[in-house]
Structure 1
Amino acid sequence: MELFSWQVFCVAAPAVIFAGVSKAGFGSGAAFASATILLLVIEPGQALGVMLPLLMLVDTSSLPAYWRKWSWPDAALLLAGAVPGTLLGALFYARSDPDMIRLLIGVISVGFVAWQGWQTYGRRGRAVRRFGVVAGWVSGGVLGFTSFVSHAGGPAAAIFLLGRGLDKTRYQATTVLVFWAVNIIKAAFYAAMGIFTVESLLFDIALAPFALLGTWLGIRAHGIVPERVFFGLTYVLLVVTGGKLIWDGLS
């Protein structure tokens, strides 16, 4: 189906708003679903190429709201793993079936929520174990790889950062910083591999106002929603996105 059609635009506009809200306010946990929604009406390569510039616009426009509120040590751990993970994603993009990766990350995401609930409520008040350096590198590698092949790096980032015990603003600011950097790296590879086209970039211009609207809504929602509710919503997003990844991997 052609990008510039009412059918595609009516699907893409709300999907982009959803991505902006998720990335700017709720840690990117479900932003990847926008690309999945686009797959209903356009080809996978087109969906990836359309979404990346819009995700970068959301990153850039939301970064000032969280400037220097991030946890740099945690961001550095994720980025240290994300760089080689992105390189692997680029190497295997053309020849690898991403369904097994989606299935694996989906199982890990849903399993993490169950594990975190057991740690919090099933151990009679004992402190929740915090993830360490190795977990950060591994999560970053998975983040980079899955982000490249399907824009699905949010769950990997959430698993690590939720396991580090950050408050909601430091958590959100760290995800914004990490994905801002990772998406810049991805864009260079996407351009070299011909994933971007003139048509997709023109379509991005038409969708840019919806990305900015979603960003504004996400930032406002982040400031209004209490911390307990925020993390509860993040766990819900992890289950939803993990479940969607499992469904995509199996189907």
Structure 2
Amino acid sequence: MITDPLFYAAAIPAVTLMGLAKGGFSGLGLLSLPLMALVVSPVQAAAITLPILIVQDVVSVWAYRHTWDKRNVALLVAGATLGILMGYLLAAQVSDAAIKLAVGVISIGFAIRRMAVERSATPPEAASADTSRGLFWGWVTGFTSMIAHAGGPPFQIYVMPQKLPRDVFVGTGAIVFGIINWIKVPPYVALGQFTAENLGTATALFPVAIASTWAGVLLVRRVSGQSFYTAVYVLLVLVGGKLVYDGASALV
């Protein structure tokens, strides 16, 4: 277990952001790994983070267990499984920075376009959960989650145009990423990332993880559906900007 106080000065805010994201404020969690990577290597930060995410998934799945879309979950998980497998096989060949840059640009473009369209005189009708798009964006979600820990934006790009009720949107994400995180466990074991130090450190952060996830659940339910979607679009632009910055900086 890591005992350096400097690590926990970065890790506790990082885990809090992850919890708020799991509770419903999608996008905030993407800031967590960069925070932890200030004090440990990005690989070790990712290994410490995964057990914490799985514990947080238990809280968020329980909180939204009655509000999720079965068809979306089935399509996205099926695609994500293939994406995770490909991400594991190609991890050494694929540039983490290039993936972040591409996802960031797509996220910003999508969010800005959707905000403009939905504020027009004739907003578009809600999209449907169709098979081809669901499998494709599920694949992208799994692949980017495995390679660059950036599965949130592709999920949002697919689901948000469906205009699901707020709790159904959050619940669907909770179920999807709850399953995805368990699928990622075998590749992490194969890569030798679950050391005693990493698991012990993750365990020490579990109380913060659980408390912050419940806080996210309680806070998001105080926000109206329309305000919630507006906030998610804004967060998607900010997260996209962070991905573009990270990706471009690493490629320079």
CA offsets 1:175-230 (integer angstroms, 9 cap, x no match): 00000000000012101111221101000111111101111111101211111111
Structure 1 residue aligned with 2:18: 19
Q: Which moved more, 1:161-170 or 1:94-103?
A: 94-103
Q: Measure how far apart 1:7 and its partner are.
A: 0.6
Say yes or no: does 1:42 pair with 2:40. yes
Equivalent positions of 1:96-245 (< 5 A) are 96-122=94-120, 124-128=121-125, 130=127, 132-245=130-243
Q: Which moved more, 1:125-134 or 1:93-102?
A: 125-134
Equivalent residues, number = 248
CA offsets 1:4-47 (integer angstroms, 9 cap, x no match): 20111110011101100111222x42312211211111111101
SS of match in other structure, 1:224: coil
Aligned partners of 2:126 and 2:163: how far apart in 1?
Answer: 9
Q: Measure how far apart 1:129 and its partner are.
A: 5.8
Q: Measure how far apart 1:126 and its partner are.
A: 4.1
Relative to the length of structure 1, the TM-score reads 0.94
SS of match in other structure, 2:40: coil
RMSD over aligned Cα, in angstroms? 1.5
Flag the 1:129–1:220 CA change in 2: closer, same or farther, 3 A.
closer
Aligned partners of 2:209 and 2:75: how far apart in 1?
Answer: 28
Where in structure 2 are there 5+ consecutive unaligned residues? none
Where in structure 1 are there 5+ consecutive unaligned residues? none
Aligned partners of 2:126 and 2:217: how far apart in 1?
Answer: 30
- Stretches of 4+ moved more than 6 A in 1? none
Relative to the length of structure 2, the TM-score reads 0.94
What letter matches 2:74 in structure 1?
A
Aligned partners of 1:81 and 1:200: how far apart in 2?
Answer: 29
